[in-house]
Amino acid sequence: MALRVAVLGATGNVGREMMNILDERKFPADSVTAVASRRSKGSEVSYGDKILKCVDIEQVDWSQFDLCLMSAGGSVAKEWAPKIAKAGCIVVDNSSHFRMDPDVPLIVPEVNADAIEGYTKRNIIANPNCSTAQLVVALKPLHDAAGIERVVVSTYQSVSGSGKAGMDELWNQTKGIYVNDAPTPDQYTKQIAFNVIPHIDVFMEDGFTKEEWKMSSETKKILDPKIKLTATCVRVPTFVGHAEAVNIETSKPLSAKKARAILKEADGIVVVDSPEDDGYITPVECVGEWATFISRIREDVTVENGLAFWCVSDNLRKGAALNAVQIAELLVERGALKPDSLKPGALNDEITA
């Protein structure tokens, strides 16, 4: 099977991770092209053992591609995704721009794979928010078993969720503090080094942040519109990996023992749950991993049918790049991407893998 794939936004954290995962998972691509903005034209990114030079987005003939994995931000997605899709290339977009569009499916393959059939309306598929992706993977098997009615979640989100600039700010502030150089916030509203900030994205009229709204709205679209969810999203001084403290209320009784057994059998989940000093997973340990890790499963006795757990995942992988590649794999599995869709003559040797 052979397909022609473009990664748009290839120089960013998520774009580079997309390139890595396409190679790691042996995605059936005949060629992979790195695409970026004009200012990044010629920048080099790795794809397996090859080095690819980025192509200027303005110079790409999108009719020559079957699939575009896009991680270039909302403004680029707004302008370019419809153009690329109209050219006959399926777009999997990592930005928030299309997520709540009723004609664009919002997909987490372990949760709502069948909804992918809706991509034909616009030829675009949306990737969910990083914190939503790992959450719905954890909620899905429990919802199927006992019917989740309400979710209360507090997130501990790493700075890589803000891109390279966020990671640089944490690094520079941490170094600066040790040499008595007072931190100056730039990417964040407050100092991020040795601190936590209960503010991700803009504030909305109801007092919630946009990130918190995304988690609620996206969970309803992906999993079940009847689920009530309230979130508090917090930026923490870790580089990679998002963690979530989750409390759920279910319509049917569900013991911690039963929940643990259900989660162990679920797709995309690894349970590490033992009441001892190292019987749980932290963000540092999930970096580079594919799974959503679940720990600290216990019954919440403050409500009738309550359960609490700890959920951790690599936000650059399952929260973004891995989920996008899994969507691409699902498109192949469902026959939306086929060998006979291959188009001749798209690439030159310099950028062909």
Catalytic residue among 54, 143, 242, 311: 242
State the first-to-last Cα distance of the chain, in angstroms, to the nearest integer: 15
How far is 153 from 279, CA to CA, in rounded Å? 21
**Which tokens in the block code for residue 12?**
């960013």
> Cβ(229)–Cβ(219) under 8 Å?
yes
- Is pTM beyond 0.75? Reply is yes
Q: Which helix (H) or strand (E) holds 188?
A: none
54 catalytic? Reply is no
Confirm whether residue 59 is marked as ligand binding: no
How far is 97 from 95, CA to CA, in rounded Å? 6
Average pLDDT over residues 313-320: 96
Residue 349 pLDDT exceeds 80: no
DSSP 197-253: BS--S-B-TTS-BHHHHHHHHHHHHHT-TT-EEEEEEEE-S-SS-EEEEEEEEESS-
Average pLDDT over residues 198-224: 98
pLDDT of residue 350: 38
CA distances to 81, 90, 249, 317, 326 from 104, in Å: 12, 12, 30, 22, 17
**Which tokens in the block code for residue 266?**
């679920």
The whole-chain average pLDDT of the chain stands at: 94
Residue 310 pLDDT exceeds 70: yes
Count the neighbouring beta carbons within 10 Å of the beta carbon of residue 284: 12
Give the distance, in angstroms, between the CA of residue 98 and the centroid of all CA atoms in the same chain. 14
Confirm whether residue 13 is marked as ligand binding: yes
Q: Say which residues have a Cβ less than 8 Å from residue 134's Cβ, sequence separation at least 6.
A: 242, 244, 292, 311, 312, 313, 315, 318, 319
Confirm whether residue 326 is marked as ligand binding: no
**Which tokens in the block code for residue 204?**
């909305």
The half-sphere exposure of 269 on its side-chain side, counting CA atoms within 13 A, is 28
Tokens 């040790």 -> residue? 178
Beta-strand relationship, 55-56 and 31-36:
parallel
pLDDT confidence tier of residue 129, bands split at 50, 70 and 90: very high
CA nearest to 151, candidates 142, 160, 159, 164: 142
242 catalytic? Reply is yes
pLDDT digits (tens, 9 = 90+) for 260-287: 999 999 999 999 999 899 999 999 999 9
Identity at 191, one-letter amino acid code? Q
Catalytic residue among 130, 233, 286, 311: 130
Q: Give span(s): CATH 3.40.50.720, the chain.
A: 4-127+320-334
Residue 177 pLDDT exceeds 90: yes
Q: Give span(s): CATH 3.30.360.10, the chain.
A: 131-158+196-313
> Cβ(148)–Cβ(139) under 8 Å?
yes
Confirm whether residue 196 is marked as ligand binding: no
CATH of domain 4-127+320-334: 3.40.50.720
CATH topology of domain 131-158+196-313: Dihydrodipicolinate Reductase; domain 2 (3.30.360)
Confirm whether residue 161 is marked as ligand binding: yes
How far is 136 from 292, CA to CA, in rounded Å? 10
Average pLDDT over residues 54-65: 95
Confirm whether residue 25 is marked as ligand binding: no
Q: Say which residues have a Cβ less than 8 Å from residue 14's Cβ, sequence separation at least 6.
A: 71, 94, 316, 320, 321
Average pLDDT over residues 218-226: 99
pLDDT of residue 348: 35
